[in-house]
Amino acid sequence: MHKPVLLDEVVQIAREISPRWILDGTFGRGGHTRALLDACPGARVVAFDQDVEAVRHAEQAFASEILSGRLSPHHINFHDIAKFKGPEEGFDVILLDLGVSSPQLDQAERGFSFYHDGPLDMRMNRTQDLTAADIVNSWSEVELNGLFSAAGEIRRPQRVVRAIAHDRREAPFTSTRQLAGLIERVEGWRKKGFHPATQYFLALRMAVNNELAGLEACVQDFIRALSPTGRLLIITFHSLEDRIIKYAFKESSQWGYPLFKKVITPSRDEERENPRARSAKLRIFQRGSSDDARTVKRYSPVS
C-alpha cells in the first residue's frame, strides 16, 4: 500500500487523545485509515469518498474491519458533511487529505495525468456530468484565463489559452496528451524540470470538482462535527487551499483554536521518498474553550 503523506504526524496527533470516533473524509485507498485503526485500537472509523472505486476498494480490502464494525465506508463527497448523521457525541478526530490520490493519478483513464494519455476527464466522482474536456472546449478565453490565473496561479496563461481557442476550432480536445502537448509546444518544454502543464491541469481539476468553493463552504461544518475536545486535521497541497483553511480556523475561535501556530510540513526524508509530498501542509484545529487554549508554536515529532 502506498504510504500517505504526513502519515506519522497524523497518527501521533490522533493517538494523543485516544479517539473513539474518527472520520476519514478522503479515504482514497485507505492508507491513513489503516494506520489509524492500528494505532487507535479503541476507535471506530467512518470513511467518506466521492469516488465509488475507493468505496469498492474499502469493501474488499477492509472486509474484516467492516464486519467487526470498526469501519463504515460511505460514497459521499466530504463537502456534504452537514447532511451526514454522525455519532451524537461528535468525532474525536476528523482527517481531510485534499487533492488526488496516487491511484487516480496513476490511472490514465481517469484523466488526471499529463504524462499518460487518457480521456480529458478529471472527475473524482464519475457520476457527475462536468469534465475537463467540457471546460477546455466550451469556456470562453476570458473564463479560461481567469481560471488559470486564479486557481492555477499562472502569471501569463494568455498564449496557451489563445492556442487552445485556435486548436479547438479545428477539433475538440478529448485527451490529456492532446492538451499537455499543446502546453509543451507553447511553453517550450524540453522534457526536464517542472512540467509546464502542472498548474493548468491543477486548475482544471479544481474547477471540475468544485474543490475550492466546496472546501470553503464546509470547513466550519467539520468543526461543528467534532466532539467537545476533538481535532480536525487538514492536509493541503495548494496555497489557495491552505489560505482557506487558515482563515476558517481564525474565524472559528468560538469553537476552539489552532493546535500549532506553524504548519506541519513533510520531513526531508519523506520528500525524498515521495516527491508528491513536497507541497503538503498540515493544519490542526483543536475543539475547546479559547480560555483553555494551549497553542504550541511548532509540532515536535515523538522519536
Helix axes 198-208 and 176-187, enclosed angle (nearest 10): 140
Measured in residues, the chain has a length of 303
- Domains of the chain, each with CATH number or no CATH: 7-102+211-292 (3.40.50.150), 126-208 (1.10.150.170)
Interval 283-289 mean pLDDT: 94
pLDDT digits 0-9 by tens, 112-166: 889 889 999 999 998 999 999 999 999 999 999 999 999 999 999 999 999 999 9
pLDDT of residue 295: 62
The residue behind cell 489552532 is 258
Residue 104 has pLDDT above 80, yes or no: no
- Tally Cβ neighbours within 10 Å of residue 187: 14
Tell me the pLDDT of the chain averaged across its residues.
93
Mean pLDDT across 91-99: 95
Q: What is the pTM of this model?
A: 0.92
Give the tens place of pLDDT for each residue, 43-64. Answer: 999 999 999 999 999 999 999 9
